[in-house]
Amino acid sequence: MATTQIRPASEELEELEEVWEDDPGIPGFFSTVDHKRIGKRYIYTCFIFFFVGGLIALAMRVQLATPNSTFLSADSYNELFTVHGTTMIFLFNTPVLAGFGNYLLPMMIGTRDMAFPRLNAFSYWVFVFAGIFFFSSFLIGSPPDGGWFAYTPLTTKPFSPGFNLDFWGLGVAFVGISTTVGAINFIVTTFKLRAPGMSLNRLPVYVWSMLVFSFMVIFAVPAVTVAAGLLELDRIFGTAFFAPGAGGSTLLYQHLFWFWGHPEVYILFVPATGMISMIIPVFSRRPIAGYLWIVTALVAIGFMSFGVWVHHMFATGMPALALSFFAAVSLLIAVPSGVQFFAWIATMWHGAVRFTTPMLFAIGFLLIFLLGGITGVMVAVLPFDWQATDSYFIVAHFHYVLNGAVVFPIFGALYFWLPKITGRMLNERLGRVSFWTMFVGFNVTFFPMHILGFLGMPRRVYTYSSGLGWDTLNLLISVGAFVFALGVLLTLINFVVSQRRGERAPDNPWNADSLEWATTSPPPDFNFEAIPVVASRHPLWDQQPLPVADSGPDDATQGFGFAGAHDHTTPITGGLRSVPEGTMRIPEPTVLPCVLAFGLAVFVVGLLAQALIVGVAGLVIGAVGLVWWAWRTGEH
Amino acid sequence: MTVTAPTMTETVVVAPPQARTRGRSIGWWGMVVLIATEATIFIALLSTYFFLRASSPTWPPDGIKPPDLGNIAIFSVVLIGSSIPIFWAEAGNRSGDQRRLRAGLLLGFLMGASFLAYQGYEYSHLDFRWTDNAYSSIFYATTGLHGLHVLVGLLMSLVVQAKAWSRKLSADHHVSMEVFSLYWHFVDGVWLFVFTSLYLTAHLR
């Protein structure tokens, strides 16, 4: 029975490829349900939004480089900082993490696709349509201008009469559907499709982080959907949720928004730390120190992140008891983050560190996160927060966390996993130059902002007069921003060049331990011809040769081997130890998800334009798509 | 950079591990997580209701009378009671009784539809509109969102009924029915909380 082999015979592979192939050409583009194509598309689309958001930031830095500048008008400045923040949070950070999860998670747990491949396509299309919808506000000349958290009453109809804020409110509610659907998919995939033997204590830390990410999304996103939804009801239909004159409450909006908004910070941070926990051990050539501690810390962060939202509202005059509680939790949440931090240091301390580009980004992340974490503890202290709130100190703090501690891991992840995804190595030397440029640029940009905050510069001002002591620092910051942008550009060049001339990536270029490295680079459509049988937390380090399961005779085991792949199926497992339970048919390519997302988009446009016929048309497209989908689903 | 690592993973084919009795279907899991996030939306709306209520000196404000309890109590029993025929239909499907499946689905559908019809009737007879004040806004928003969920449930029921009539469901093909019934019980269960908060407690002084 036990035959050792490196690759299946080529006729076998050809047969499988035929079964798993997408339709060719443009129909294939709209109908694919392959988690890898979708994940890749997610990542690339997100980076387009990242570049746009970055260019907007550069425009703002040009404006602020000198006092009394007239490069931008006050109104355009308001629009740009709103669009910058909204884009980076809703259209880059959150979805790019979902994109990596889409691509990597099924391979890491040793399966052939997500639990709901069509929903996966749906969440991508919703994200794309929401992004297009949001940016189409520029076409009619009224981008959102109420800040990325759109506080009422400024954003209610009497004070913001144009379409501007409607693009924000409807766009945010719309893109929330995508995030939620993705999270449901990650949870079920992790619970039901793990390779046999991959018990919860053998899950890669990254998979744990995506699980915590998903649970946070499930319980946090509804709050922002309700906040944006009620805001739009006020704006479009004239309800009175946030109208103080009719019994509404502006504070209510802040509670709803931040009940999502603070978990959101950890929704972004947790998967980023998950990436770091994959990169550091591989380049320290040893298993991660304190696996159990790290996982416990991730779960603890998930819970605690729901008890800190009021620290965004310390200056709103709430009762002292409430403030004290939220200040205490905000201080306490630094503990699990600290646990992770020491585990990473311990891993490197006891390992043999190789300073490759992904590792440089990971170490850069550690330094930046240290500073962002410390300023986070500072602003959790009430009297300090009252001084620093709405100043550049806060701008510095959250860029250290959201740009430094999330974007640096994402770049590390690019250098780490792109060889697997594209089959081409990135240039190592250019990668290092890119890292150092970004690292220096980042700190030159954001560190002086702390000082500017102490010097009293408020956030969101479009200009300032000379003689306040802010001139030099602002110029320095603007220079830093361009250096940072240059570093990003170098990685883009690196990527483009590698696609044309890059060295071919071997299956496991870093000698990593998790299952995604057991397939070819790039992986075949079916990921694994036969599903690995896991007996270790580090299968590729401890299990040589890697056992893969043959197909059995019954329904619970027929999905494992070549026969299972040939039937377009993947095994279902269950229980803590991941025991075979059944076989799941992976759906054929279909345009339904795209049609349904399009229907929703039409509905949202109808709401925006207050055109009944358009709204109804969107609902009809959506309903027909949904019924058709439901009709074809669950043939068992 | 020189690559010294092994570049290919050698594999060895082994027999599949021992299977165990079947767990819940993938669809069941998906619906459970969807319900968790949907429930959070209702929790957010009910929290909004009590937040607005706590910041208002009188409730309901502006001399609005709290909604009548008489008829809605009856229709609440009808809606929540509609879970019973759905249970019955599901059990029927599992035991291979197609007639019970169809009858239970139809009865559940009619009960849900009558609740929705009554809600429409109540809307047209309330003496406040949702633009009047924060109370009327949250009242219509919460009951309206729930009504929308009932409507989606009815649509799902139609699909499942069509599947039942075209003999796509059986003891081995039960996932559609299972997923629909989970959703239906959720919509019924949520109404208990909406009814308690928006109708019952409004009469507490």
Question: Cα separations (Å) of B126 from A104, B60, B121, B122, B139?
Answer: 53, 13, 9, 6, 11
Nearest alpha carbon to residue A564 among A176, A112, A86, A223? A112
Q: Nearest CB to A247: which of B43, B133, B173? A: B133
Name the residue in chain B with its Cα closest to that of A236. Answer: B131
**Which residues of chain A does B168 touch, with a Cβ-Cβ cutoff of 8 Å?**
635
Contact A219 B7 (CB under 8 A): no
In three state form, how does the secondary structure of A270-284 look?
A: HHHHHHHHHHHHHHH
Q: Which one of A122, A189, A252 would you mutate to disrupt binding with B, by most B Cβ within 10 Å of its Cβ?
A: A252
Q: What SS3 class is residue A97?
A: helix
Name the residue in chain A with its Cα closest to that of B44. Answer: A223
Q: Which residue has the higher pLDDT, A29 or B186?
A: B186
Contact B20 A574 (CB under 8 A): yes
Arithmetic mean of pLDDT, A571-595: 92
Q: Does A10 touch chain B (CB under 8 A)?
A: no
Residue A281 is predicted with a pLDDT of 97
Q: Nearest CB to B51: which of A2, A249, A554? A: A249
Q: What SS3 class is residue A146?
A: coil
Does position A247 have pLDDT exceeding 70, yes or no?
Answer: yes
Residue B172 is predicted with a pLDDT of 84
- As a whole number of angstroms, the longest Cα–Cα distance in chain A is 82
Token pair in block for residue A599: 């229907």
Contact A581 B22 (CB under 8 A): yes
**Which residues of chain A does B19 touch, with a Cβ-Cβ cutoff of 8 Å?**
552, 554, 556-557, 579-581
A residues 609-628 closer than 8 Å to B (CB): 623, 626-627
Name the residue in chain B with its Cα closest to that of A635. Answer: B173
Name the residue in chain B with its Cα closest to that of A508. Answer: B7
**Which residues of chain B does A6 touch, with a Cβ-Cβ cutoff of 8 Å?**
8, 10-11
Please give the interface size between A and B, counted as residue pairs whose CB atoms are below 8 Å apart: 240
d(CA B88, nearest CA chain A) in Å? 20
Q: What pairs with residue A574 in β-bridges? A: A579
Residue B31 is predicted with a pLDDT of 96
Contact B18 A545 (CB under 8 A): no
* Torsion angle (degrees, nearest 10) of CA A31, A36, A42, A43: -150
Contact B11 A545 (CB under 8 A): yes
Query: Is the CA virtual torsion A76, A82, A84, A86 positive or negative?
Result: negative
Contact B9 A517 (CB under 8 A): yes
Q: Does A538 touch chain B (CB under 8 A)?
A: no
Contact B134 A243 (CB under 8 A): yes
d(CA A114, nearest CA chain B) in Å? 11
A residues 195-214 closer than 8 Å to B (CB): 196-197
Q: Does A470 touch chain B (CB under 8 A)?
A: no
Residue B68 is predicted with a pLDDT of 87
d(CA A209, nearest CA chain B) in Å? 18
Arithmetic mean of pLDDT, A397-425: 96
Among A24-28, A486-490, A534-538, B121-125, the least confident range: A24-28
Tell me the one-letter amino acid at B147.
Answer: G
Contact B48 A230 (CB under 8 A): yes
Nearest alpha carbon to residue A263 among A310, A322, A327? A310
Please give the mean pLDDT across all residues of chain A: 94
Contact B137 A633 (CB under 8 A): no
**Euclidean distance between CA atoms A389 and A403, whole angstroms:** 19
| Residue A523: DSSP 8-state | P
Q: Nearest CB to A552: which of B16, B34, B141? A: B16
Q: How far is CA A493 from the centre of its chain?
A: 23
**Which residues of chain A does B45 touch, with a Cβ-Cβ cutoff of 8 Å?**
226
Q: What pairs with residue A582 in β-bridges? A: A572
Q: Nearest CB to B7: which of A192, A507, A546? A: A507
Q: Does A546 touch chain B (CB under 8 A)?
A: yes
Residue that the structure tokens 């997500």 belong to: A114
A448, A476 contact by CB (below 8 A): yes
A142, A164 contact by CB (below 8 A): yes
Contact B16 A560 (CB under 8 A): yes
Beta strands A4-5 and A579-585 are unpaired
Residue A7 is predicted with a pLDDT of 55
Residue A9 is predicted with a pLDDT of 64
Question: Cα separations (Å) of A24 from A45, A565, B22?
Answer: 21, 21, 37
Does position A315 have pLDDT exceeding 50, yes or no?
Answer: yes
Contact B13 A584 (CB under 8 A): no
Q: Is A526 left (phi over 0), alpha (psi -120 to 50) or beta?
A: alpha
- Confidence class for position A1, pLDDT limits 50, 70, 90: very low
- Confidence class for position A23, pLDDT limits 50, 70, 90: confident
3-state percent breakdown (helix, strand, coil) of chain B, nearest 5:
70, 0, 30
Q: Which one of B3, B4, B14 would you mutate to disrupt binding with A, by most A Cβ within 10 Å of its Cβ?
A: B14
- As a whole number of angstroms, the longest Cα–Cα distance in chain B is 80
Q: What pairs with residue B71 in β-bridges? A: none
Residue A635 is predicted with a pLDDT of 56
Contact A218 B37 (CB under 8 A): yes
Residues of chain B below pLDDT 50: 1-5
Residue A15 is predicted with a pLDDT of 86
Residue that the structure tokens 């937040």 belong to: B51
d(CA B79, nearest CA chain A) in Å? 23
**Euclidean distance between CA atoms B35 and A218, whole angstroms:** 10
Residue B7 is predicted with a pLDDT of 56
Q: Is B79 left (phi over 0), alpha (psi -120 to 50) or beta?
A: alpha
Residue A319 makes CB contacts below 8 A (sequence gap 6+) with none
Token pair in block for residue B114: 């009558």
d(CA B136, nearest CA chain A) in Å? 8
**Euclidean distance between CA atoms A538 and A202, whole angstroms:** 8
Arithmetic mean of pLDDT, A618-623: 92
A residues 142-181 closer than 8 Å to B (CB): 180
Q: Nearest CB to A5: which of B11, B40, B156? A: B11
Residue that the structure tokens 């669009």 belong to: A83
Which helix H or strand E contains A546, and what residues bound it? strand A546-549
Q: Does A241 touch chain B (CB under 8 A)?
A: yes
**Which residues of chain A does B30 touch, with a Cβ-Cβ cutoff of 8 Å?**
115-116, 119, 184-185, 188
A442, A375 contact by CB (below 8 A): no
**Which residues of chain B does A187 touch, with a Cβ-Cβ cutoff of 8 Å?**
29, 33
Residue that the structure tokens 């990527």 belong to: A495
Token pair in block for residue A261: 């908004």
Residue that the structure tokens 């406040």 belong to: B128
d(CA A206, nearest CA chain B) in Å? 21
Does position A456 have pLDDT exceeding 90, yes or no?
Answer: yes
Q: What SS3 class is residue A548?
A: strand
Which residues in B114-150 are b (16+ Cβ under 10 Å) and which e? Answer: ebbebbeeeeeeeebebbbbbbbbbbbbbbebbbebb
Residue B3 is predicted with a pLDDT of 41
How many CB atoms lie under 10 A from the CB of residue A62?
Answer: 15
Question: Considering the entire predicted model, what is its pTM?
Answer: 0.95
d(CA A71, nearest CA chain B) in Å? 42
Q: How far is CA A300 from the centre of its chain?
A: 20
Contact A239 B141 (CB under 8 A): yes
Nearest alpha carbon to residue A239 among B65, B145, B5? B145
Residue A357 makes CB contacts below 8 A (sequence gap 6+) with A412, A415, A426, A428, A431, A432, A434, A435
**Which residues of chain B does A545 touch, with a Cβ-Cβ cutoff of 8 Å?**
9-12
Tell me the one-letter amino acid at A173.
Answer: A
Contact A631 B162 (CB under 8 A): yes
Q: Does A245 touch chain B (CB under 8 A)?
A: no
Helices (H), A381-470: 382-388, 392-399, 405-422, 428-454
